[in-house]
């Protein structure tokens, strides 16, 4: 009975339950990002995995299912189906950053760089620390020949996630190329 009353108080009075959950999720992410900054070689991968896990939870089983369906289609190379599922997700949960990020990946793999860039911008508007989206941004900018801005995006991602070998490699590759061009 007490839990029913508590749920009613939370839903009707003051802070909505979804807002409290969002605040808890944000605190968890803040803690994980702080730990990631201080991590060593033994635990950074587990922290990264926890961040991805939190990013993949929308707070709605139905939206999480759409994300999973889109990701499965991506893994199977069915880009059209992936885009369809992920577009439904972004339509129904426009504030869910990972829906935009996943669709950005699908658009990128489909060769739709402009649409991918738009979805990356949406992702970063909701989660500015999304090192995956920043890395994708760097990749696209590099592909478009804008290596200076690509390097900025990679460096920003590296500042957030200093342990990623992929990001470190991209920064090193572009810095080395830049040094040769001088």
pLDDT of 22 = 79
Q: Residue 131's closest CA among 140, 120, 116, 147?
A: 120
Residue 149 predicted with pLDDT over 60: yes
Q: Check: pTM over 0.95? Answer yes or no.
A: no
- Find the mean pLDDT for residues 46-61: 96
The 8-class DSSP code of residue 93 comes to -
Domain at 127, CATH number: 1.25.40.10
pLDDT of 18 = 61
Residue 155 predicted with pLDDT over 80: yes
Q: Which of 22-31, 64-73, 157-166 shows the lowest mean pLDDT across its residues?
A: 22-31
Distance CA 105, CA 150 (A): 17
pLDDT tens column, 115-148: 999 999 999 999 999 999 999 999 999 999 999 9
Range of the domain at 38: 2-181
pLDDT averaged over every residue in the chain:
90
Q: Residue 22's closest CA among 111, 114, 95?
A: 95
Say if CB 108 and CB 136 are below 8 A apart: yes
Q: What's the structural domain count of the chain? A: 1
Distance CA 54, CA 49 (A): 9
Residue 9 predicted with pLDDT over 80: no
């Amino acid at each position: 009975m007490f839990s029913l009353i508590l749920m009613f108080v939370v839903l009707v009075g003051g802070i909505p339950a979804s807002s409290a959950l969002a605040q808890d999720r944000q605190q968890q992410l803040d803690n994980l990002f702080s730990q990631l900054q201080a991590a060593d070689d033994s635990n950074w991968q587990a922290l990264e995995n926890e961040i991805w896990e939190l990013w993949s939870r929308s707070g709605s089983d139905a939206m999480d299912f759409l994300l999973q369906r889109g990701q499965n289609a991506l893994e199977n190379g069915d880009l059209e189906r992936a885009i369809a599922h992920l577009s439904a997700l972004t339509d129904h949960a426009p504030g869910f950053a990972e829906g935009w990020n996943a669709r950005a990946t699908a658009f990128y793999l489909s060769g739709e760089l402009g649409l991918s860039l738009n979805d990356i911008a949406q992702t970063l508007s909701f989660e500015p620390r999304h090192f995956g989206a920043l890395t994708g941004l760097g990749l696209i900018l590099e592909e478009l020949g804008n290596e200076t801005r690509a390097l900025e995006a990679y460096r920003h991602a590296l500042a957030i996630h200093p342990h990623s070998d992929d990001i470190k490699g991209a920064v090193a590759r572009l810095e080395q190329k830049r040094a040769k061009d001088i």
